[in-house]
């Protein structure tokens, strides 16, 4: 079992819809969770991070964390074609220091 799992997609949503991206992790002691967006040929850029159970909102993005179920999700409201990218979930374990463990990424396609 991979430590951080994501559906590779592609996830296709129409413009204006809500895109829901999910991520599960195996290390129950994980403390910090991050979502990165990566456009083709570019390096990842941070979208959000969350470390407490519940929701965290930033503009059109909402991160949701459920430590009991060991999943973290990212909701993108009013999806735009420019949101089309690969979204990487990353987890920092309890004893990982600075190191992050990345999921394989979910490719999102927003169709006009």
Partner 1 sequence: GAVVSQHPSRVICKSGTSVKIECRSLDFQATTMFWYRQFPKQSLMLMATSNEGSKATYEQGVEKDKFLINHASLTLSTLTVTSAHPEDSSFYICSARDPRGARDQPQHFGDGTRLSIL
Query: Cα separation of 96 and 18, whole Å?
Result: 33
Residue 71 interacts with partner 1 (CB under 8 A): yes or no? no
Of 74, 61, 65, 59, give the one whose Cα is nearest residue 92: 65
Residue 99 interacts with partner 1 (CB under 8 A): yes or no? yes
CB of 7 to partner 1, least distance (A): 13
Candidates 15-23, 35-43, 55-63, 69-77: pick the segment binding partner 1 (CB under 8 A).
35-43
Closest to partner 1 by CB, 16 vs 53, is 53
Please confirm whether the linkage preceding 79 is cis (ω < 30° from 0).
no
């Amino acid at each position: 079992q991979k430590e951080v799992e994501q559906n590779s997609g592609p996830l296709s949503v129409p413009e204006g819809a809500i895109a829901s991206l999910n991520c599960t992790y195996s290390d129950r002691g994980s403390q910090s969770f991050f979502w990165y967006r990566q456009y083709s040929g570019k390096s990842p850029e941070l979208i959000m991070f969350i470390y407490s159970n519940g929701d965290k909102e930033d503009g059109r993005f909402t991160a949701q964390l459920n430590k009991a179920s060991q999943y973290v999700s990212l909701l993108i409201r009013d999806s735009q074609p420019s949101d089309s990218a690969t979204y990487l979930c990353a987890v920092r374990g309890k004893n990982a220091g600075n190191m992050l463990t990345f999921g394989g990424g979910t490719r999102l396609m927003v169709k006009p």
